[in-house]
């Protein structure tokens, strides 16, 4: 029972809780998760070396599936901080970028077929709104480049398997 002085109710039905387990695939310029495409780390390294931007790629794997984190709906792009960000994003970013980072940019990596491959996260470098918009535009371009490179590596693999499956005529 809750009232104005105590907004929390501690009475709940165990069946009302929904628990979802997933593994996270995390790649940074310094480390590549073997479940992620190798081009992801290369793009993050390029972003770090050429623009001084620390970024990480994160994908969720459900049901112990192989690297098929793509989902129909991509997460919302934008800025996340202590006041406006969602708790999941803040927890992931603090783990990757350290406890003192305060503002993050999140941009989905959307493949050509519209599925979400994962998400790029970057710490905001500048405090002003203009600097944040520039940072966001850079991370968005990086996410698009990442998607194109992952798609390009998948197309030859798919066409090769299709060609091998077709009968060969002499």
Residue 6 falls inside a structural domain: no
Residue 1 falls inside a structural domain: no
Residue 3 falls inside a structural domain: no
How does pLDDT run across 21-68, given as a tens digit for each residue? Answer: 677 888 889 888 888 888 999 999 999 999 998 899 988 876 655 454
Residue 40's H or E segment, with its range, is helix 38-51
Which contacts (CB < 8 Å, 24+ apart) does range 61-70 have? 61/22, 61/23, 61/24, 61/25, 61/35, 62/20, 62/21, 62/22, 64/23, 66/35, 67/25, 67/35, 67/36, 67/37, 69/25, 69/116, 69/117, 69/118, 70/111, 70/113, 70/115, 70/116, 70/117
Residue 12 falls inside a structural domain: no
| The model scores a pTM over 0.85 | no
For residue 87, pLDDT beyond 80:
no
Residue 81 falls inside a structural domain: yes
Residue 42: domain span: 21-153
Q: Domain total for the chain?
A: 1
Helix, coil or strand: residue 59: strand
| CATH code of the domain in which 36 resides | 3.30.450
Residue 167 falls inside a structural domain: no
Residue 15 falls inside a structural domain: no
End-to-end, the C-alpha distance of the chain in Å comes to 79
């Amino acid at each position: 029972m809750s009232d104005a002085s105590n907004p929390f109710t501690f009475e709940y039905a165990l069946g009302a809780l929904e628990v979802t387990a997933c593994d996270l695939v995390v790649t940074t310029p310094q480390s590549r998760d073997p479940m992620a495409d190798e081009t992801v780390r290369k793009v993050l390294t390029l972003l770090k070396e050429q623009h001084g931007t620390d970024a990480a790629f994160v994908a969720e794997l459900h049901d112990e599936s192989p690297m098929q984190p793509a989902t129909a709906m991509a997460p919302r792009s934008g800025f996340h901080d202590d006041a406006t960000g969602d708790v999941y994003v803040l927890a992931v970013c603090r783990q990757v970028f350290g406890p003192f980072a305060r503002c993050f940019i999140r941009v989905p990596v959307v493949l050509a077929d519209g599925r979400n491959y994962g998400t790029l996260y970057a710490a905001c470098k500048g405090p002003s709104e203009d600097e944040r918009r520039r940072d966001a535009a850079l991370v968005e371009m990086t996410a698009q480049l990442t998607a194109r490179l992952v798609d390009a590596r998948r197309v030859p693999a798919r066409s090769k398997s299709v060609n091998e499956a077709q009968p060969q005529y002499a």
